[in-house]
């Protein structure tokens, strides 16, 4: 195999580039003679007609793009391929507040790079126009969240009817969030234009006969569970391939095959292609998730509930009374326990029996009872699991995917209907969290993750007071000896619960260090009552403050608290009430300073208090528009404040 000489001369970015290339090589099945190109100078080192595949990785065009692409094509063997791996200059992330990758400038690409001679990348329409000039066949793919180690890769077959745009950890440093990208991506998909706003492109010139219509990588799992799932179209039929991403995941593939053969006839069993790869039949049938969504859109509660009833009955018919709480169960789901014995359990459960994975054999027959096929037997276990947990997991997944479904039929209504209590749900959530995070390792990514800065264009004021938008800041650092750093902070918008009641929640996984400070409000003269907390061991006001009954008034700084979370919690929630001190702050401050100076000469204490209040009044005027035209006040400021 011929080796790309430039690919080994990447300097400081060598490891990053190797990581970028590794998934491309596996996904595209790079074989034969192939090279990577990064900019125009690479082209000068290669012979014509020598390569099976050319991969253009974030290629920096200096020459005319069409001329460069023609030269790339001249380097190919007969039936060779070019794979272009790049950002979309009209990607939604760049509208939503992510800076241009190359220049780190905001909104540069979406304005067509007004201040540079050469574009860094192009839109879908621009790529199509260039490729049509070359008179070549081509195929677009849409990696998400981007083309650097993507989680999923979509195609034109499914980009508008799948889940492109699901929320993921932010890996772009110092970016803003102007709107909810997940919701906007869904709207673009509903209008069938998402392909124009995808964050990145993979463009295949002279496409292979085998078409990978979709690929999903389980990148955030432990190594022993990392697999990929692909939908393959060979021109005659579609198949689904599940493949171990490394030798460490081979045992997981082997168990999937073994356990699936021991399940009922309803589970689709795969064919082993190798110790690392399983092939499944692709199902064209409707799945239960799609049927429930259709009834939700049609507002047909009766049919919606009929399907849920059928699913619950289907599970119960397979269940037996059993004690589930054994060591193997605790190893997978943790130590939380329901205080009940001999529960209805599934003896060899498929806990991933969610509605996306259940297909109907015949649309004209009732669901379940010999009329379903179940895919994805990845998480089957050989010990008993309570049937209500498997049922709750399916319902929970449905409502997490379609939040607005709560307005159609409350999730609590369904759980109550099947006698699943709030205390049951709490235990099921703990089981699910332990399984996901501790057993599978999902969510524990080792890549650098950054916070997003919330920036509302509807209300840039971020004012204090009842009914206003409240933006809180969370800071963190390793030890008390360090200073809090603006690079280690994130914004959270408080949820308005009532006229004066707000609540914020933040995840511990986003906080990398042990010392946490929460600024509930940025302005002084605010009185705050902490109404309730969850996941908080201790919360202490910082800076200078005074008591106002149940309220704490912050006198010389923001409403900042030192927060110590409880151990082993995933989230911290703080509910607080704001007292508008606009009209009584002077009296509060006066009393505060008089109390502070009690025991000192009262005249002196009163004078100090008045001076402090006057200073704050002048500071309010200082810097305002009026300040620029009122010379007398400026003079007062110089004489009175500057003199001190």
What is the per-residue pLDDT across 475-530, written as a single tens digit (0 to 9) for each?
A: 988 888 888 887 788 888 888 888 788 999 988 877 877 889 999 887 655 688 99
> DSSP 3-state assignment of 167?
coil
Q: What is the pLDDT of residue 544?
A: 76
The residue out of 161, 191, 217 marking a domain boundary is 217
**334 and 412 both lie in a single domain:** yes
To 10 degrees, what angle do helices 387-401 and 288-297 make? 50
- Residues of the chain under the 50 pLDDT cut: 5-13, 460-466, 583-584, 593-594, 596-601, 644
Inside any domain, residue 175: yes
Predicted confidence at residue 171, as pLDDT, reads 76
DSSP-derived letter for residue 600 is: B
18 and 59 co-located in one domain: yes
Indicate if 476 and 558 belong to the same structural domain. Answer: yes
- Give the number of domains in the chain: 4
Same domain for 390 and 424: yes
Q: Which of 168, 183, 217 corresponds to the end of one domain?
A: 217
Does 151 lie in the same domain as 46? yes
User: Residue written as tokens 């009641």?
Assistant: 501
Asked if residue 381 belongs to a domain, the reply is yes
Contact 390, 346 (CB under 8 A): yes
Residues 6+ apart with CB under 8 A from 547: 553
Torsion of the alpha carbons at 286, 292, 293 and 294, rounded to the nearest 10 = 70
Residues recorded for the chain: 644
| One domain, residues 569 and 611 | no
Check residue 644 and give its pLDDT: 47
Domain that holds residue 364: 288-436
Structure tokens at 95: 């509208």
What confidence score (pLDDT) does residue 622 get? 59
CB distance 312 to 419 below 8 Å: no
| Same domain assignment for residues 579 and 590 | no
Q: What is the CATH classification number for the domain harbouring 18?
A: 3.40.50
140 CB burial (10 A radius; 0-12, 13-18, 19+): buried
Helix (H) or strand (E) holding 639, with range, is none
For residue 442, is it within any domain? no
> In 3D, which of 108, 105, 109, 7 has the Cα closest to residue 57?
7
Clarify whether residues 19 and 71 are in a common domain: yes
- 600 and 500 in a common domain: no
pLDDT at 359: 94
pTM of the full predicted structure?
Answer: 0.70
**Is 18 a domain residue?**
yes
User: Residue 261 domain-assigned?
Assistant: no
Final residue of a structural domain among 217, 246, 265: 217
- In this predicted structure, what is the pLDDT of residue 370? 83
How buried is residue 127: exposed, middle or buried, by Cβ count under 10 Å (0-12/13-18/19+)? buried
Would you state the pLDDT for residue 378?
92
65 and 193 housed in the same domain = yes
* pLDDT score, position 161: 86
Residues 536, 636, single domain; the answer is: no
């Amino acid at each position: 195999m011929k080796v790309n000489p430039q690919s080994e001369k990447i300097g400081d970015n060598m490891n990053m580039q190797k990581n970028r290339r590794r998934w491309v090589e596996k996904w595209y099945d790079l074989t034969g003679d192939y090279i990577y190109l990064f900019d125009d100078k690479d082209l000068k080192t290669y012979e014509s007609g020598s390569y099976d595949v050319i991969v253009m990785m974030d290629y920096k065009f200096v020459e005319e793009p069409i001329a460069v692409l023609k030269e790339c094509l001249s380097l190919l063997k007969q039936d060779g391929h070019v794979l272009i791996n790049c950002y979309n200059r009209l990607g939604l992330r760049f509208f939503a507040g992510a800076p241009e990758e190359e220049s780190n400038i905001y909104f540069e690409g979406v304005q067509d790079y007004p201040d540079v001679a050469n574009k860094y990348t192009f839109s879908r329409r621009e790529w199509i126009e260039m490729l049509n000039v070359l008179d070549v066949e081509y195929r677009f793919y849409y990696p998400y969240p981007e083309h650097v180690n993507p989680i999923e890769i979509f195609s034109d077959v499914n980009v508008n009817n799948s889940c492109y745009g699901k929320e993921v950890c932010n890996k772009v440093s110092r970016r803003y969030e102007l709107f909810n990208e997940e919701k906007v991506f869904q709207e673009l998909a509903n209008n069938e234009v998402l392909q124009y706003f995808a964050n990145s492109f993979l463009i295949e010139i002279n496409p292979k006969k085998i078409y990978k219509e979709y690929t999903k990588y389980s990148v955030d799992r432990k190594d022993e569970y990392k697999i990929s799932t692909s939908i393959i179209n060979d021109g005659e039929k579609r198949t689904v391939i599940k493949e171990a991403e490394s030798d460490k995941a081979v045992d997981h593939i082997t168990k999937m095959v073994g356990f699936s053969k021991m399940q009922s006839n309803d589970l689709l069993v795969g064919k082993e292609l190798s110790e690392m790869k399983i092939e499944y039949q692709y199902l064209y049938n409707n799945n239960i998730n799609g049927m429930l969504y259709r009834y939700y859109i049609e507002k047909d509660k009766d049919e919606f509930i009929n399907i849920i009833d059928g699913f619950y009955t289907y599970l119960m018919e397979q269940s037996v009374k059993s004690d589930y709480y054994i060591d193997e169960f605790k190893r997978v789901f943790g130590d939380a326990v329901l205080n009940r014995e001999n529960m209805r359990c599934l003896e060899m459960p498929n806990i991933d029996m969610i509605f996306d994975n259940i297909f109907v054999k015949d649309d004209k027959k009732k669901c379940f009872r010999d009329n379903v096929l179940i895919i994805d037997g990845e998480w089957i276990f050989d010990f008993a699991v309570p049937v209500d947990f498997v049922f709750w997991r399916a319902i929970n997944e449905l409502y997490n995917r379609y939040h607005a479904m709560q307005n159609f039929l409350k999730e609590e209504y369904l759980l109550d209907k099947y006698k699943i209590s709030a205390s049951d749900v709490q235990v099921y959530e703990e089981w699910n969290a332990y399984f996901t995070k501790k057993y599978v390792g999902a969510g524990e990514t080792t890549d650098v993750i950054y916070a997003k800065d919330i920036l509302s264009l509807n209300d840039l004021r971020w004012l204090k007071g009842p009914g206003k938008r409240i933006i809180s800041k969370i800071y963190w650092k390793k030890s008390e000896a360090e200073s809090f750093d603006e690079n280690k902070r994130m914004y959270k918008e408080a949820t308005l619960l009532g006229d004066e009641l707000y609540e914020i929640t933040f995840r511990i996984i986003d906080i990398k260090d042990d010392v946490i400070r929460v600024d509930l409000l940025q302005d002084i003269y605010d009185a705050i009552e902490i109404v309730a907390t969850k996941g908080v061991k201790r919360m202490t006001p910082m800076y200078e403050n005074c008591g106002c009954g149940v309220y704490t008034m912050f006198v010389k700084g923001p409403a900042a608290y030192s927060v110590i979370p409880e151990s082993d919690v995933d989230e911290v929630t703080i509910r607080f009430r704001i007292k508008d001190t606009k009209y009584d702050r002077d009296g509060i401050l006066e009393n505060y300073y008089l109390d502070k100076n009690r025991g000192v000469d009262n005249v002196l204490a009163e004078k100090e208090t008045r001076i402090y209040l006057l200073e704050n009044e002048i500071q309010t005027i200082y810097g305002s528009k009026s300040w620029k035209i009122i010379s007398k006040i400026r003079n007062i400021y110089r004489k009175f404040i500057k003199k001190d």
